[in-house]
């Protein structure tokens, strides 16, 4: 069986470009015992991947030059030499940017009951973005009723879920987004109290003073360094900064980053700045998924999907993330015909 894979051709400098990637065709050998052959249906274009393309050891190993780019996908099982999976099963996992592949059973997870949610939700509200938002707001941010919460990249998959979950906990939630359309979606569909297109602001700090006259209890940040620095003087006593993503910093070498300088507020307000990864909470994924599904079914939690079709669109879809070109969860769907993998 033939499959196509997207490999890292060179380490991107600054913003990633489609030409940093290459497309290769490979023939899968016969399926080894204990393994499972899957065909991907959807891939996530995930900003967090950018850090892995730079060659720096992070919480996961960097992608090697010539190696298949990593990333989460939804797939169906084509053939199984494992007792845990059968042909036709829907699975998720870090399957990488490949149309089909063979995996040890431990690398795959059976998709949870969706309860009517669209299949893409397996990479969105029911996947890492939704679960990250759930634990980021509940455990790291400890958002409670009456808190004031600022979410950056608020129309992104994680930000939109985080803001809504904060609202469901009784917080007053404001989102920053990169277009009027996104800001409008946040206040109408997603129920944010306010949302602002930050590109239209003369001065973000002035706007934050107006949006939060009494200060901010929780910053849920997906942008990085520069954003944390601007927000710090607006934080309230014992405020929490949930460091969820650093989309802007991923493409910048540390010495080119703005740097967090307003650190006196960390002492004067006794702030807590804490990093978040969903998989620290893996034993409680079931709880998160059940809540998220219930909220969705009750119409209290929505998601915006941005779906592009065709495996070969993956590099372009990924690069668009950093130009503010995506809205909600960016997914790439396999062609309906299934392409060469069938």
Chain residues binding a copy of itself by CB under 8 A are 51, 56, 58-59, 224-225, 228-229, 243-246, 249-250, 254-255, 257-277, 280
Closer to a copy of itself by Cβ: residue 267 or 298:
267
CA distances from 164 to 55, 128, 147 (A): 34, 16, 13
* CB of 84 vs a copy of itself, minimal distance in Å: 29
CB 186 within 8 A of CB 155: yes
Name beta bridge partners: 8.
21
Closer to a copy of itself by Cβ: residue 180 or 280:
280
Closer to a copy of itself by Cβ: residue 145 or 267:
267
* CB of 263 vs a copy of itself, minimal distance in Å: 5
* CB of 247 vs a copy of itself, minimal distance in Å: 12
Residues 6+ apart with CB under 8 A from 179: 155, 197, 199, 324, 327
Three-state SS letters, 65-84:
CCCECCCCEEEEEEEECCCC
Closer to a copy of itself by Cβ: residue 262 or 335:
262
- Please give the Cα distance from 156 to 136 (Å, whole number): 15
- The tokens for 217 are 């209890």
**What torsion do the CA atoms of 133, 134, 139, 140 make, to the nearest 10 degrees?**
0
* CB of 229 vs a copy of itself, minimal distance in Å: 8
- Please give the Cα distance from 268 to 203 (Å, whole number): 24
- Please give the Cα distance from 6 to 214 (Å, whole number): 49
* CB of 224 vs a copy of itself, minimal distance in Å: 7
CB 340 within 8 A of CB 3: yes
Closer to a copy of itself by Cβ: residue 33 or 254:
254
Closer to a copy of itself by Cβ: residue 153 or 225:
225
* CB of 158 vs a copy of itself, minimal distance in Å: 12
Closer to a copy of itself by Cβ: residue 216 or 276:
276
Place of tokens 């879920």: 161
Buried b (16+ CB within 10 A) or exposed e, 38-60: bbbbbbbbbbbbbbbbbeeeeee
* CB of 261 vs a copy of itself, minimal distance in Å: 4
């Amino acid at each position: 069986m033939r499959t196509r894979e997207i490999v890292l051709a060179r380490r991107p400098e600054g913003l990633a470009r489609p030409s940093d990637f290459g497309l290769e065709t490979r023939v899968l050998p016969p399926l080894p015992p204990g393994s499972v052959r899957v065909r991907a249906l959807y891939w996530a274009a995930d900003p967090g991947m950018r850090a892995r393309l730079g060659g720096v050891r992070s919480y996961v190993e960097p992608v090697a030059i010539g190696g298949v780019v990593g990333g989460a996908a939804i797939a169906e099982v084509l053939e199984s030499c494992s007792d845990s999976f059968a042909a036709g099963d829907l699975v998720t996992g870090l399957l990488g940017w490949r149309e089909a592949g063979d995996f040890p059973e431990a690398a795959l997870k059976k998709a949870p009951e969706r309860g009517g949610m669209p299949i893409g939700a397996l990479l969105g509200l029911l996947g890492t973005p939704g679960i990250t938002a759930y634990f980021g707001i509940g455990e790291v941010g400890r958002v409670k009723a009456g808190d004031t919460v600022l979410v950056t990249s608020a129309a992104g998959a994680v930000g939109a879920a985080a803001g809504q979950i904060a609202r469901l906990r009784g917080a007053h939630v404001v989102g920053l987004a990169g277009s009027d359309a996104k800001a409008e979606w946040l206040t109408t569909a997603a129920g944010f109290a306010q949302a602002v297109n930050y590109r239209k602001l003369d001065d973000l700090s002035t706007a934050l003073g107006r949006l939060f006259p009494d200060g901010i209890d929780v910053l849920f940040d997906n942008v990085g360094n520069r954003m944390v620095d601007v927000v710090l003087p607006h934080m309230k006593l014992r405020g929490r900064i949930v460091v969820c993503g650093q989309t802007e910093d991923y493409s910048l070498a540390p010495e080119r980053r703005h740097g967090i300088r307003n650190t006196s507020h960390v002492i004067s307000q006794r702030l807590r700045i804490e990093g978040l990864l969903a998989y620290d909470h893996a034993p409680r994924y079931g709880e998160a998924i059940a809540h998220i599904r219930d909220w969705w079914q009750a119409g209290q939690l929505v998601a915006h999907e941005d779906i592009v079709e065709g495996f070969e669109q993956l590099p372009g879809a990924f690069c668009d993330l950093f130009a503010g070109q995506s809205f909600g969860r960016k997914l790439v769907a396999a062609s309906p015909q299934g392409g060469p993998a069938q």
